[in-house]
Chains A and B, each alone.
Chain A
Amino acid sequence: MKGKLGLIIKREFNAKVRNKSFIIMTILAPFLMVAMGFLIIYLGKANDSKIKKIAFVDQANLLKENTFEDTNAVKYIDLTSIGVEAAKKESEDKEYYGLLTIPKQDSLELLATDISFYSKKTPNTIVVESLEKKIESNLRNKKLHRLGIDIAKIKSAKISADIKLTNFSGEETSKFMNSIKVGIGSFAGYLIMMFIMIFGTSVMRSVIEEKTSRIIEVIISSIKPFQLMMGKIIGNALAGLTQFAIWGVLITIISIVASFVFGISFGEMPATNVSTQQMEIAKEIMADGKIQSLITELRSQLPWVSMLVYFILYFLGGYLLYSAIYAAIGAAVDSETDTQQFMPIVMMPLMLAVYVGFVAVMKDPNGPIAVAFSIIPLTSPIVMLMRIPFGVPISQIIISLILLILNFVLFVWLAAKIYRVGILMYGKKPSYKEIYKWMKYKG
């Protein structure tokens, strides 16, 4: 009997991987994905390819002590000497990105509301924001000066607080580490969801094919439906994993080759996407030499090995469970168009899991809602993976894995049951009520 399961797995795997569309997608998809990545980078670059030249007329002498600094992307030109009207004309003629005018005003408050930016097109908000920041800080300094406060003293009084987060067993962590953990958790959860949505339906199609080709009764007189369903799920899962692995390898190779050929690297993501604030934080971290300690923290604090093990367990468990649900749907219908009414069964728990993951887990990884949803089988693969980087008691993991496996077997059994009863009623579109009735039929 065990040999038969192997036979079915082998056939399902072969039927899937020898399919022309499978072969085409396996080879083509990585190229498309890499091309898409390059396109995004290229478009981002093309968008701000030119160095922006910004002219300014500073009649209030606001920028005298602390003026703009040129960067790779923006160059500043001082046109104060030629006056506003001439500067406007020159900016237009020379096609500058824009012109900033700071008129002379009596009070700083009036001045603050009287600064203008002239440009041909609506300016990039990030550019405007950085201009505002500079002006604000200059205005603040001027005001402080007028109030008779020593700026140097204020600067020296600036202290940045950094609360150290330590758990009771003495492991230190940091806010930065926290966001890394959130990132890893969400990436893993998201990956599972994508995988289920892309590959889960292939089991369903394979079950439906058996019904439309009418081979079902021949097969089912040789083997138990449970074995058939199990074989189908495992065979299709293996095919999906194979495709996934090939994609991973191909994408890596293609991107390396492509970056050599085109001279673009994925490191150069569009710089404008990072706001100046984040840049400053990053700069600060680098300057303080914190980066070194962060790397050691990353190495020592996150349980990489167990995280990988859990990822594989939950990835497989979740994928198999949802495959079994897809198989049950396939068993209940005669054609793919009939599957629509059952799709919420798959989509709702997935969406709920992602939602709970992003809301509850990030707020409190060990709160009651996060714990509950990481144990309930339909949501556990996603929610638990999001929690794992924060540390989860082993007892919870064991309980949730056992429930996951039990539910998988339960759904395979259910799919087999529906499949067996379903052959007795060809061509009838079943309702939920009818399927409930089928469950009650004996054997």
Chain B
Amino acid sequence: MNNLLVVENVTKQFGDFTALNNVSISVPKNSIFGLLGPNGAGKTTLIRIINQITMPDSGKVLFDGKPLKPEDVHTIGYLPEERGLYKNMKVGEQAIYLAMLKGMSKKDAKENLKYWFDKFDIASWWNKKISELSKGQAQKIQFVITVMHKPKLLIFDEVFSGLDPINANLIRDEILELRKNGTTIIFSTHRMESVEELCDHIALLDHSNKILEGNLNDIKKEFKTNTFEVGLNSDNNDALEKEISERFSISKASYKSLENDLKLNIKLGVNNTSSDLIQYLSSKAQVNHFVEIIPNASDIFIQAVKNNSNEG
């Protein structure tokens, strides 16, 4: 059993509105799993079902191989997008209270909180009220509260929103370290650059359906179009372009280079390999640049959503 969390055929309706339609996902142990999708796709509903805030109408959720049970909330940490803390409660007291609600003993909660406060160098906030902290500072506290009870599964919904680049980097490093220490992380976001940077698995939801799931690299391979970005130098670039366009489908490419090259995206047919192409090109001109175009998460996101709406 290599999946920490398995969602099987989950459907959830609110009145006439279907929020999730027969959705299944598998989150491998020790992965950073990106849960992606446009606004209103059903991500938050799915996350709430995993957190047992709301129950699915049908389908089931397996946690560590067994059906999800109420005690499992103790081993899940959740940072919701709509976040907040008691404004008039002191930071230390509040963090310990929330950790104890997650089943920790008071002693352990205190120790863990000290560890995190020392790590972030914020020990002086212990007796401050949340209302005395800035928004970014409160975010940091919220992160500590989410992870301090050492959950097996962490769920972050837009964890970086509202953080400045320095704090965003700090949190990113912590997430990577948590993963190194064996935590599984579900990561829901719109920010594709962080998906690219952190996630090894993704699932894409659109209009209440899952339209894509898998290892990010596998998906990229699936989505690549056998297109190569090339830079060529010959005596007559115009004639060369015309000649190539007769054999391949091409488009203008743009990248930065020192030479005044002919820059093209060349899409290969099914029967051609990259060595065929490079052989052909080097017989015609000097090849200064030759890169396979691999789609990034953002391209995949846009492409998949577009395909889905065309089909629908």
Which residues of A line the B interface, CB within 8 A?
A: 1, 4, 7-8, 11, 15, 19, 209, 213-224, 420, 423-424, 426, 437, 441-443
Contacts and interface: CB of A to CB of B under 8 A. Distances in A.
Given A213-B86, A423-B53, A221 B76 contact: yes
A218 B129 CA distance: 18
Given A221-B53, A221-B78, A214 B102 contact: no
B298 interface: no
B53 A217 contact: yes
Given A4-B101, A7-B100, A15-B89, A218 B84 contact: yes
Given A7-B100, A218-B80, A221-B78, A424 B54 contact: yes
9 contacts: A215-B83, A216-B84, A217-B83, A219-B98, A222-B73, A222-B98, A222-B101, A223-B101, A224-B70
Given A15-B89, A213-B86, A424-B54, A219 B101 contact: yes
A213 B85 contact: yes
A17 to B, nearest CB: 13
A432 B203 CA distance: 38
B103 to A, nearest CB: 8
B55 interface: yes
Interface string B114-154: 00000000000000000000000000001001000000000
A4 B100 CA distance: 8
A241 B238 CA distance: 90
Interface in B27-74: 51-55, 57, 70, 73
B15 interface: yes
Contacts of A437: 15
A7 B104 CA distance: 12
Contacts of A224: 70
Contacts of A215: 83-86
A420 B55 CA distance: 11
Given A220-B53, A441-B14, A443-B54, A214 B86 contact: no
A242 B80 CA distance: 36
Contacts of A420: 53-54
B88 interface: yes
A386 to B, nearest CB: 40
A217 B87 contact: no
Nearest to B106: A7
Interface of B: 14-15, 51-55, 57, 70, 73, 76, 78, 80, 82-89, 97-98, 100-102, 142, 145
Given A221-B53, A420-B53, A214 B82 contact: yes
A15 B88 contact: yes
B101 A217 contact: no
Contacts of A441: 14-15
Contacts of A216: 82, 84
A19 B86 CA distance: 13
Contacts of A214: 82-84
Contacts of B51: 221
Contacts of A11: 97
Q: List the 9 closest A-B pairs by CB distance, nearest first.
A: A214-B84, A443-B55, A217-B80, A222-B101, A221-B51, A213-B84, A221-B78, A215-B84, A214-B82
Contacts of B54: 420, 424, 443
Contacts of B85: 213, 215, 218
Contacts of B78: 217-218, 221
Nearest to B131: A213
B84 A442 contact: no
Given A7-B100, A217-B80, A441-B14, A15 B53 contact: no
A216 B14 CA distance: 20
Contact of A221 (B14, B57, B73, B97): B73
Nearest to A11: B97
A441 B97 CA distance: 31
A100 B14 CA distance: 84
Most chain A CB within a 10 A radius of its CB, from B53, B55, B70, B85 = B53
Nearest to A227: B101
Nearest to A211: B84
Contacts of A223: 73, 101
Given A424-B14, A443-B55, A222 B87 contact: no
A19 B14 CA distance: 39
Q: Which of B84, B85, B87 has the most CB of A within 10 A?
A: B84
Contact of A426 (B82, B86, B97): B82
Contacts of A15: 86, 88-89
Contacts of A19: 88
A116 to B, nearest CB: 70
B88 A442 contact: no
Nearest to B87: A213
Contacts of B14: 424, 441
A426 B84 CA distance: 14
B101 A7 contact: yes
A8 B87 CA distance: 16
Contacts of B80: 217-218, 221
A217 B80 CA distance: 7
A224 B310 CA distance: 41
Contacts of B88: 15, 19
A4 B102 CA distance: 9
A191 B196 CA distance: 65
Given A218-B84, A218-B98, A441-B15, 4 more contacts: A11-B97, A216-B84, A221-B73, A423-B53
A97 B243 CA distance: 127
B57 A442 contact: yes
Nearest to A425: B14
A209 B84 CA distance: 11
Q: For A11, A19, A216, which residue has the most chain B Cβ atoms within 10 angstroms?
A: A11
Nearest to B83: A214
A226 to B, nearest CB: 12
B130 to A, nearest CB: 8
